[in-house]
Structure 1
Amino acid sequence: MPDLVIICYIFFLLSSYNTTAEDVKCTQQERKVLLELKNNIVIDRCGLLASWGNQEDNKDCCRWKGVHCSNYINSSVIIKIDLHGFDTSSPHPCLEGKLTPTLTELKHLSYLDLSYNNFLGEPIPNSIGSLGKLRYLDLSHAGFGGGIPHQLRHLSKLETLFISSNSFEDTLSNDNFQNFSRLKDLDLSNNSKLTLNFSVDWIPSFQLDTLKLRSLALGPHFPKWILTQRSFSYLDISEAGISEPIPTSFWNLLTLNLSFLNMSNNNITGKLPNLSHPIFDHWRPLEVDLSFNSFEGTIPSFLGNVSSLKLNNNKFSNPIPLLCPKSKIVLLDLDLSNNLSSGELPDDCWENMDELSFLNLESNQFSGKLPQSLGAIKQLQSFRLCDNTFFRSPTHFIMELLLFGHP
């Protein structure tokens, strides 16, 4: 008898969560909310809402494009709306219009993507803060403006928040993020009038995997709260007005999950530490961009075990530890242009960098002979040496490499 009870219970659960298209039906109220959203859209260049209608044979909004439903105990609920408007064939956004505040009536909505559309400078409706089950919210590149409603702080289940490339004018503080303990991915980039005003001793309740704060006013100090994050795979704090050295402890916090690091176009000063860190012990597909800053001194060798390294437009004076690795590295792209590096290039190291496809040493103070061992870089596709003081013309040197395989 107990076995029979368990079997019946399992059957009940499976039937309760059945999400097949044949069983899921759209309720009249949900359909009304979506049709109101459509009526507020004045232009639909991509046909995102073409399937949305109220005809007798088209009333099931669970079958409409971009709408996903779930069935629970004989009643359907909309759980996902994906109307992202990115279209590579057109420079214009797909949808233009206003966002209806009645979306808040979709109580079970957990996923909302309205990115790459144009909502005509309107603020985000306050009512979105009432979508208590929302886990994913993408309003990036969507033409929103004004302030960011404080009601968003109530979205305590939020895991992804993307609101980049809008026209927000606001100041965000600790309080705006106090309930986001589940947050994993955050993108606030490219909102030039959006300011972050966090307490110096703020310790967020979340641990981020992705953080994108490009073109925000974070500086002049390095944001200390970033040092509390220990699981980044993607970090972009470029063009952020930072003008002090990177704390050494930052490098020790990086993990093997990291695949992208961009701190370019700041005015970061100081020297890079010569670290021994597991993340740099072996080659991995990691892009590092520290260009357009004021770093100086020696370029440490630990940066050689990445796939792409941009250190151009700094004040580095000694690249030899990087250019002369003790063992083979698989660095593919290296840009050291517009630095203060001088002296002769090493002649016996290039065979350990034979996977390079892009090498830029332009606009430094290198002199002397161009080493013949550069010919060991068999994968080289782009090689830039101009604006140095080599004995021999770089153009002549490269022509010999192309014609004869050696200078």
Structure 2
Amino acid sequence: MGFPLRFLSSLSLCLLALLLHRAMVTSGCFSMEREALLDFKAGIHDTHNRLSSWTGHHCCTWKGVTCDTTTGHVVMLDLRNTFDRALGGERMMNSSLLALSHLERLDLSFNDFSGIRMPEFIGSFKKLRYLNLSSTRFMGGIPARLGNLSSLYVLDLSVALYVDDYGNGYPVDNLEWLSHLTSLKHLDLSWLNLTGVPDWFSSVNMLPFLQVLTMYAAGLNTIPASVVHVNFTSSLTWSYPS
């Protein structure tokens, strides 16, 4: 007994879709993600040509870009600066990156963001597990939308806000968003000015899986006396000014 034409037609469409997907993955990367990366590049001052490999269709081979070997989606963007070859530019952080909806790791550490605010759209990367904005020196505060990153394991915000030559950092006035990052294991808030956050410990204390907490030079000298219960794991290691 033969197969119904409707079944064969559906099967053909499924096979065609699989072949097209495979061709798209093996050809380099998804066009929407590639265009987003190129738009990101267009807003960057790259005086040392760190992104010179960002040409052609094979964006999964570009320096700093990693794709999932199965799906072909971009899952990591590692643009950590080394040897004083900082990337910069007022348009560097534009929302075109939201096309990287499968992003799991984002490292922009040690690049020059002086003069622009930390973009709120970073809080829209729902699958992000690792975020490193260390020594990026953004102006302004920390957007509360970072609290949407409930899958984060690692968050490094050390010197993420501007610090002047006298060690004075831009004041942070709210850390309540931290309490929503319930998967967090590693948190670094060093060199953030937390003197205006009297309830900082309450927010940090809501992170049950936290294992590493670093808070050098955050303007804090004591743990609030109102703390009656510590919610940390027994394996917590933390660095805190005495």
TM-score tier by shorter-chain length is: 0.7 to 0.9
* Identity among equivalent pairs (%): 31
Q: Could you tell me whether the CA contact under 8 Å between 2:195 and 2:220 is conserved in 1? A: no
Report the CA distance shift for 1:216/1:27 in structure 2 as closer, same or farther (over 3 A). same
Q: What is the root-mean-square deviation in Å for CA atoms of aligned residues?
A: 3.0
**1:326-379 C-alpha deviation (Å, 9 max, x unpaired):** xxxxxxxxxxxxxxxxxxxxxxxxxxxxxxxxxxxxxxxxxxxxxxxxxxxxxx
Report the CA distance shift for 1:225/1:70 in structure 2 as closer, same or farther (over 3 A). farther
| Displacement after TM superposition at 1:71 (Å) | 4.6
Is the aligned partner of 1:96 residue 2:76?
no
Measured in 1, the distance between the counterparts of 2:228 and 2:131 equals: 23
* Residue correspondence of structure 1 range 147-162 to structure 2 within 5 A: 147-162=141-156
List gaps (5 residues or longer) in structure 1. 1-14, 239-265, 267-407
Q: Could you tell me whether the CA contact under 8 Å between 1:180 and 1:206 is conserved in 2? A: no
Measured in 2, the distance between the counterparts of 1:62 and 1:225 equals: 50
List gaps (5 residues or longer) in structure 2. 1-17, 163-169
Measured in 1, the distance between the counterparts of 2:138 and 2:121 equals: 15
Looking at both structures, which has the greater relative contact order when contacts are Cα pairs under 8 Å and sequence separation is at least 6?
2
Report the CA distance shift for 1:172/1:201 in structure 2 as closer, same or farther (over 3 A). closer
Is the aligned partner of 1:65 residue 2:66?
no
| Displacement after TM superposition at 1:195 (Å) | 4.2
Counterpart position of 1:236: 239
Measured in 2, the distance between the counterparts of 1:216 and 1:233 equals: 19
Is the aligned partner of 1:182 residue 2:183?
yes
Report the CA distance shift for 1:164/1:200 in structure 2 as closer, same or farther (over 3 A). closer
Q: Could you tell me whether the CA contact under 8 Å between 1:23 and 1:71 is conserved in 2? A: no
SS of structure 2 residue aligned to 1:132: coil
| Paired AA for residue 134 in structure 1 | L
**1:242-273 C-alpha deviation (Å, 9 max, x unpaired):** xxxxxxxxxxxxxxxxxxxxxxxx4xxxxxxx
The two structures have a TM-score, normalised by structure 1, of 0.47
| Paired AA for residue 40 in structure 1 | G
Counterpart position of 2:166: none
* Residue correspondence of structure 1 range 190-201 to structure 2 within 5 A: 190-192=191-193, 195-198=196-199
SS of structure 2 residue aligned to 1:80: strand
| Displacement after TM superposition at 1:86 (Å) | 2.4
Q: Could you tell me whether the CA contact under 8 Å between 1:200 and 1:225 is conserved in 2? A: no
Report the CA distance shift for 1:193/1:222 in structure 2 as closer, same or farther (over 3 A). closer
Counterpart position of 1:29: 32
Counterpart position of 1:79: 75
Counterpart position of 1:107: 101
Q: Could you tell me whether the CA contact under 8 Å between 1:24 and 1:69 is conserved in 2? A: no
Count the aligned residue pairs.
Answer: 211
Report the CA distance shift for 1:117/1:201 in structure 2 as closer, same or farther (over 3 A). closer
Measured in 2, the distance between the counterparts of 1:76 and 1:200 equals: 41
Measured in 2, the distance between the counterparts of 1:131 and 1:235 equals: 27
The higher radius of gyration belongs to 1
Counterpart position of 1:171: 173
Report the CA distance shift for 1:220/1:209 in structure 2 as closer, same or farther (over 3 A). closer
Counterpart position of 2:212: 210
Measured in 1, the distance between the counterparts of 2:182 and 2:143 equals: 19
| Displacement after TM superposition at 1:48 (Å) | 2.6
| Displacement after TM superposition at 1:103 (Å) | 1.3
| Displacement after TM superposition at 1:95 (Å) | 1.1
Report the CA distance shift for 1:95/1:218 in structure 2 as closer, same or farther (over 3 A). same
| Paired AA for residue 82 in structure 1 | D
Q: Could you tell me whether the CA contact under 8 Å between 2:201 and 2:223 is conserved in 1? A: no
Q: Could you tell me whether the CA contact under 8 Å between 1:67 and 1:81 is conserved in 2? A: yes
SS of structure 1 residue aligned to 2:41: helix
The two structures have a TM-score, normalised by structure 2, of 0.76
Measured in 2, the distance between the counterparts of 1:59 and 1:209 equals: 41
